[in-house]
A = this chain, B = another copy of it.
Amino acid sequence: MSQFGMHVKFTAKSGQRDALVAILLEGQAAMESIHECELYIVSVSDTDPDAIWVTEVWSDAEAHAASLALDETKAAIQRAMPLIAHIDAVKMKPAGGKGLRPAAI
């Protein structure tokens, strides 16, 4: 099983970025308690007022999928969806680097 990465760009509806960031950052508490979640970073842009990125690394794809089935995740997604204009998700496979547990291609 290899580590699983996601880099998701959310485009918030105009004026909704900060509300959406708040919901996404609420997810941090849940992620802190899930060992398989190695990284969950919410980022914004200095130049695009509607852009939000969530960068995640999980021990494997199954752990990530299981997290989406949690009640709190489903509730957060339901609250977030009305604030989102567009989602662009990219799956990645970490090969290594600083800040992660060792991984192999």
Contacts and interface: CB of A to CB of B under 8 A. Distances in A.
Contacts of A40: 97-99
Contacts of A44: 92-93, 95, 105
Q: Is the interface of A mostly helix, strand, loop or mixed?
A: strand
Contacts of A7: 7, 53, 55
Interface in A76-105: 90-100, 105
A41 interface: yes
A18 B104 CA distance: 12
Contacts of A45: 90-93
A94 B43 contact: yes
Contacts of A94: 41-43
Contacts of A42: 94-97
A25 B96 contact: yes
A63 interface: no
Interface of A: 5, 7, 18, 21, 25, 28, 31-32, 37-47, 53-55, 57, 90-100, 105
